[in-house]
Amino acid sequence: MDIKKLQTLVVDALEDVKGQEITLFDTTHLTSLFDRIAVVSGTSNRQTKALAASVRDKVKAAGGDVIGMEGEDTGEWVLVDLGDMIVHIMQPAIRQYYRLEEIWGEKPVKLGAAKRKSTAEGLEADEPKVKSKHLAANQAQVDAKPVNERKPAAKRATAASKTAATGSAARKPAAKKAAVPTGKTVKVAPSKSETAAVEATKAKPPKRATKAAAPAAPAEAAPVKKVIRRIKKTDE
Task: Please say if the pLDDT value at position 109 is more than 80.
Answer: yes
Q: How far is CA 87 from CA 34, 49, 108, 135, 161, in A?
A: 11, 12, 14, 42, 86
DSSP code at position 156: H
pLDDT at 110: 84
* CB-CB contact of 56 with 69 (8 Å): yes
Residue-wise DSSP of 83-120: SSEEEEEE-HHHHHHH-HHHHHTTSB---TTTS-TTSH
State the DSSP code for 168.
H
The strands making up 85-90's β-sheet, listed across from edge to edge, are 20-26, 36-41, 85-90, 77-81, 68-70
State the pLDDT at residue 58.
Answer: 93
Could you give the CA distance from residue 25 to residue 37 in angstroms, rounded to a whole number? Answer: 5
pLDDT band per the 50, 70, 90 thresholds, residue 145: low
Model confidence at 221: pLDDT above 70: no
Helix and strand numbers (H, E) in the chain are 7, 5
Bridging pattern class, strands 36-41 and 68-70: unpaired
Q: What is the pTM of this model?
A: 0.49
Q: How far apart are CA 126 and CA 119, in angstroms?
A: 11
pLDDT greater than 60 at residue 181? no
Model pLDDT, residue 178: 52
Distance in angstroms (rounded) separating the CA atoms of residues 2 and 4: 6
Q: Is the pLDDT of residue 53 over 90?
A: yes
> 182: which DSSP letter?
T
Tell me the average pLDDT across 165-192: 58
**CATH, domain 3-108, list 3.30.460.10, 3.90.245.10, 3.30.70.100, 3.20.20.80:** 3.30.460.10
Where is pLDDT greater, at 62 or 218? 62
Q: Are 65 and 83 in contact (CB under 8 A)?
A: yes
Could you tell me which residue, 129 or 63, shows the higher pLDDT? 63
| Cβ pair 126, 116 in contact under 8 A | no
According to DSSP, the β-strands at 36-41 and 85-90 are parallel
